[in-house]
A and B are shown apart, each in its own frame.
Chain A
Amino acid sequence: KAGVTQTPRYLIKTRGQQVTLSCSPISGHRSVSWYQQTPGQGLQFLFEYFSETQRNKGNFPGRFSGRQFSNSRSEMNVSTLELGDSALYLCASSLGQVLKSGNTIYFGEGSWLTVV
């Protein structure tokens, strides 16, 4: 079974630009969540989608947005990029809407974003 797939793996953007990152969850998984990983802040939750609906959102500005499609694939978008947005963006998928006992979150390899 293929794991969580994220594209692109690496990208460089200029301040002020926008970026879209893509995530394909494990087949059958309907919950997709996004995390930002930086050396200073560690792993921080961005948002989570289930059945095309955002179920939970972290403490990030409105420049960070996402969506989920009917096939459970998800995209996240960051507009008006700032230098501080440079990070590894991780996508994770799980089987159900709720991380019940027995459900596990599986992570992708991430998309490395560098803002210059």
Chain B
Amino acid sequence: AQRVTQPEKLLSVFKGAPVELKCNYSYSGSPELFWYVQYSRQRLQLLLRHISRESIKGFTADLNKGETSFHLKKPFAQEEDSAMYYCALWAGTASKLTFGTGTRLQVTL
């Protein structure tokens, strides 16, 4: 069975500081990994997926198969980045995503 672990429930950083939201997964096959974000009072939305290898809102994430990690990074945090971030894994079964428990990012002045 697949599992996604986000070890931090809350990550508090100062504006302009680097951000790294951790995500580790367990799955024996080749998964696809995603980061979803949920801003206050908004719906859950896709931030990025590893196959796209793109940067969205300054965020990047690299899939490290050796460490089974997919950490989300941003060099300089902005206030508007404050939100709940979920790491998710697709194991090739229909449209089912397995989510981590989420990390709340709080960016303060």
Give me the interface of A with B, judged by CB distance under 8 Å. 3-4, 31, 33, 35, 41-45, 48, 50, 55-56, 58, 90, 92, 94, 96-99, 101, 103-110
Contacts and interface: CB of A to CB of B under 8 A. Distances in A.
B109 interface: no
Interface stretch (B38-46, B55-63, B65-73): B38-46
A42 B103 CA distance: 11
Interface stretch (B10-18, B19-27, B74-82, B86-94): B86-94
Contacts of A104: 46, 49
Interface of B: 32, 36, 42-46, 49, 51, 86, 88, 90, 92-102
Nearest to A97: B94
A33 B95 contact: yes
A31 B95 contact: yes
A45 B43 CA distance: 17
A63 B96 CA distance: 20
Contacts of B97: 33, 43, 45, 99, 105
Contacts of B102: 42-43
Contacts of A109: 42-43
B46 A105 contact: yes
A96 B94 CA distance: 9
A48 B93 CA distance: 10
B95 A107 contact: no
B43 A99 contact: no
Nearest to A47: B96
A48 B94 contact: yes
Contacts of B36: 107
Given A107-B43, A107-B45, A110-B43, A98 B51 contact: no
A50 B45 contact: no
B22 to A, nearest CB: 15
